[in-house]
């Protein structure tokens, strides 16, 4: 498909998505697990703080 070119590619719109990543890579499963753990911790701390302040 090297011979095909679309107006978006000519304008450089898609070049952002083709750029190589230089930062750390994380697995999608690891990101979801970290988000779930963070959410659970926030809910626990909210519950603990709301019961001690009342």
Assigned domain for 10 exists: no
- Whether 13 is covered by a domain: the verdict is no
Would you say residue 1 lies in a domain? Answer: no
List CB contacts of 4: < 8 A, sequence separation 6 or more. Answer: none
What's the pLDDT tens digit per position in 16-51? 555 567 777 888 999 999 999 999 999 999 988 888
Residue 49 lies in a domain: yes
What pLDDT is stored for residue 35 in this prediction? Answer: 97
The residue with greater pLDDT, 12 or 49, is 49
Range of the domain at 54: 26-54
Q: Provide the number of structural domains found in the chain.
A: 1
pTM of the full structure: 0.53
Rg over alpha carbons for the chain, rounded to the nearest Å, is 22
């Amino acid at each position: 498909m090297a011979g095909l070119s679309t107006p978006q590619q000519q304008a450089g719109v898609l070049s952002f998505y083709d750029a190589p990543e230089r930062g750390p890579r994380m697995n999608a499963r690891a990101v979801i697990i970290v988000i779930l753990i963070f959410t659970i911790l926030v809910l626990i701390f909210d519950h603990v703080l709301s019961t001690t302040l009342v």
